[in-house]
Structure 1
Amino acid sequence: MPIKNVVVNCTDVQRSVEYYTKFLELPVVSEPTPDRAVLDAVSTTIELRAVARGREQSTWVGDDLQKGFRHIGFKVDRLDERAEVLKAAGVEFTLDPLDAEGAVRICFFYDPDGTLLEMIQGDLQYAAVLDQDGVARERALGVPRRPRFDHVAVTVEDRERTSAYYAEHHGFSFIGTIEQPHDQRGFSIGYLKGGDTVLEIFTYETEKSARAPQLDVAGFAYAELEGKPPTAFGKLVSPDGTTVYVDPDGFVFAVGSGA
């Protein structure tokens, strides 16, 4: 079962619509309003929702050692060309294009409200393949004709616990790992595949920090998954009235109809 929707809070919906349609080629699904817009990201939708500017500061930290949401990833073609267009427009990058572990090319940059985004070019060559069929389905998606939502990345304390929960309740399959041997923090990545989407799971041997959910500040708000609502997680209500759940690492998600 895939990630159905990703909700991103923004301080100016029209500005964010212009950004995502121009730089990531995500067409608008329906007529946007000052409060909301839905964009087609091929394998899911990206929903932009308005929040008040400056009412509360986000506590999100971009060091990857903070548990919970890390970034949103898009598979692309022509990564370097796309990165040059972003740079020419003054978009802030945290990582310039480079060849990364797993034989892919990547870069990281911010949207207008500080949500961290990644572009990935190429098929991952996993250090360990745990689900051959899942990897085959991923590679069968091919090179995207326009940027395609690929994953939401999260940092967790316990990858086994995380993969067990999302497999049982939401149908995600643990398809493979990528190791980062040069990272002194003991960095490893696991990939949980649901439909044509992925939860990218970061783990570190070094100490990590925690963050309480903030549903009414700019940035990533929550993901919408299919499956069974959890019974043991914290429960909150988002500003739009949606019931959301908080997993043990602070990742926030809603649950729609499914198995």
Structure 2
Amino acid sequence: MSITSVIINVTDLDRSIDFYTRFLAAEPISRDDDHAVLDLISGTLRLQRIDNPADHAWVADDLHRGFRHIGFKVDDVDRWVAPLKEAGVRFHLDPLEATGDVRIAFFYDPDGTLCEFVARDLQYSTMIDEDGVAAERALGVPDRPRLDHVALTVDDRQRTADFYHDHFGFDLIGIIDQPQDPRGFSIGYLKAGPTVLEIFTYRADKQPATPQLDAPGFVAAEIGGSSGSPAGMTELGKTGYGAVITLDADGFPITLGAER
């Protein structure tokens, strides 16, 4: 199993297709008046147009549980950032060297979805699964942005790791500690196939998630290869193409994409 797709609500389908094809070299697979599917090597973006969108409740504060950002692996962060800067795209974090010996930058798509470029292989504070890390590094350096991970904040990393391992085959391969962060921040990496769930944990108090189906931005991560949702998950609703969306214990929306 792996993250096969990320589903995003957009208010202007042509604008969003242009953004992801021009700045992330995404390749169009299909589209109609309300939907588009774009290839990003190890997964797809599924864009769905919404009319009369609700106000977006998501905030750029990682102490809120649930979805945080979509990460794309690149060969050179600064090379891919330059056209975004020239076009006046809004940035959350300019390029910098980050813990784990990676270079990163954060920016927003036209509807406020937070995206990350990341370059180089992570150097984990704690390596848990050497084979998993080796498989991750064997993917190599992409010649265009590759869907790499989706990040979420959780209450309990072990609970989350157990859930995604037991039901979807994700393995915890490593941890990055952030000792400089007074909030008690660390990141766990759950890998399945070519993609990763990047798990943020904090000792500091966290706010509940606010998943939405009728607002612009991130809707759900699609996990392929499973025949049904685990028992006890809360149903949020359906995607624009009819797949049921359910919430994990931290309010992170997932779908198995059963009704394309």
Alignment of 1:130-169 (within 5 A): 130-169=128-167
CA distance in 2, matches of 1:18, 1:132: 39
**Residues 149-188 of structure 1, C-alpha deviation per residue, up to 9 Å, x if partnerless?**
0000000001010000000000001000001111111100
> C-alpha displacement at 1:145, in angstroms?
1.0
Tell me, yes or no, if structure 1 residue 24 matches structure 2 residue 13.
no
Taking a change above 3 Å as real, the CA distance of residues 231 and 20 of structure 1, as seen in their structure-2 partners, is: same
CA distance in 1, matches of 2:35, 2:257: 19
Aligned to 1:249: 250
Aligned to 2:12: 12
> C-alpha displacement at 1:208, in angstroms?
0.5
Judge conservation of contact 1:222–1:252 (CA < 8 Å) in 2. yes
Judge conservation of contact 2:54–2:216 (CA < 8 Å) in 1. no
> C-alpha displacement at 1:256, in angstroms?
4.6
Aligned to 1:238: 238
Judge conservation of contact 2:243–2:256 (CA < 8 Å) in 1. no
> C-alpha displacement at 1:237, in angstroms?
2.0
Aligned to 2:208: 210
> C-alpha displacement at 1:211, in angstroms?
2.5
Q: Which has the higher mean CA deviation after the structures are superposed, 21-30 or 210-219? A: 210-219
Alignment of 1:33-182 (within 5 A): 33-53=32-52, 55-182=53-180
> C-alpha displacement at 1:239, in angstroms?
5.0
CA distance in 2, matches of 1:211, 1:99: 29
CA distance in 2, matches of 1:104, 1:211: 28
Runs of at least 4 residues off by over 4 Å: none
**Residues 10-47 of structure 1, C-alpha deviation per residue, up to 9 Å, x if partnerless?**
001110000000000001012x2231100001001111
Judge conservation of contact 1:52–1:217 (CA < 8 Å) in 2. no
**TM-score, length-scaled by structure 2:** 0.95
> C-alpha displacement at 1:242, in angstroms?
2.0
Judge conservation of contact 2:28–2:37 (CA < 8 Å) in 1. yes
What runs of 5+ residues in structure 2 fail to find an aligned partner?
none
Q: Secondary structure at the match of 2:256?
A: strand
CA distance in 2, matches of 1:213, 1:79: 30
Aligned residues: 255
What runs of 5+ residues in structure 1 fail to find an aligned partner?
none
> C-alpha displacement at 1:72, in angstroms?
0.1
Q: Secondary structure at the match of 1:29?
A: strand
Q: Secondary structure at the match of 2:27?
A: coil
Taking a change above 3 Å as real, the CA distance of residues 33 and 173 of structure 1, as seen in their structure-2 partners, is: same
**Residues 66-109 of structure 1, C-alpha deviation per residue, up to 9 Å, x if partnerless?**
10000000000121121111011000111000000000000000
Identity %: 53
> C-alpha displacement at 1:4, in angstroms?
1.2
**TM-score, length-scaled by structure 1:** 0.96
How well do the aligned residues superpose, as a CA RMSD in angstroms? 1.1
**Residues 195-217 of structure 1, C-alpha deviation per residue, up to 9 Å, x if partnerless?**
00000000011000012321121
